[in-house]
Structure 1
Amino acid sequence: MAIKRGDIVSKRNYRMLTLGGFFGLLALIVIATTWASPPEDFPRSLLLLLLGGPLLIPLRGLLYGRPQTHVWSSLLALPYVVIGVGMATTGGHQAYGLLMLVLSLVFFAGCLGYAKAARGEAAKA
């Protein structure tokens, strides 16, 4: 009996990957901005609003497992990839930037995988 790709990585696993990357990225932003490396010359609340605010927009759709929300949330993950690459390559916050890069890529891959798995389920039905 051959094992199909869809049997190993299911829709549920992609959803857990998405939520793990999402909440990890949100927690990283909150912890780094308020406690680990707060900005010295920029208001913390404004930085939290600029970095964490857009992540709160798709929260309900992600928690309810809506495929359309996962599709456009994958586009929301891309600016965090760019920010993570920028921080990882410049001095000072390489570890923070690398972690942001990894978490945003996990979020991105989980969103796309979930949307593809949901589309496959809808096509079978």
Structure 2
Amino acid sequence: MNDPSTVPPTDEETPASQGTRILSNMESLIRRHPVAAALTTLGFGCAVGIVARDLLTPQPTPRDRAMQLLEEIQSRLTEFAEPAYDRASHLADDGVSAVKRGLHAVSHSSLASRLSNLFS
């Protein structure tokens, strides 16, 4: 009697015929759905490009990462401190104006003429 496990199947395909069948199926799928095939190809190309860029771009050194972090901190501190700096600058200008007005007023007073006579 023949054991069914030892008899090779009769409808088995060779690797070459499997490849031909797969290519034929892909071609018919592309012909039925050309837009989807084009978008799939575009997406696959983008994915390959992104992966290639990531693999080919050298990784930043720890020093470069630290410098980038410090530059970002400096930028944020500048944004945070700018309103306070502007306010302090306006207050300083107001203070200088007040001192000038005070000195001008003192120079026209009788006390200024007495002091100038004292030191002359």
Q: Is the shorter-chain TM-score for this pair beyond 0.5, marking a shared fold? A: no
Bigger Cα Rg: 2
TM range (shorter): under 0.3
TM-score of the pair, normalised by structure 2: 0.25
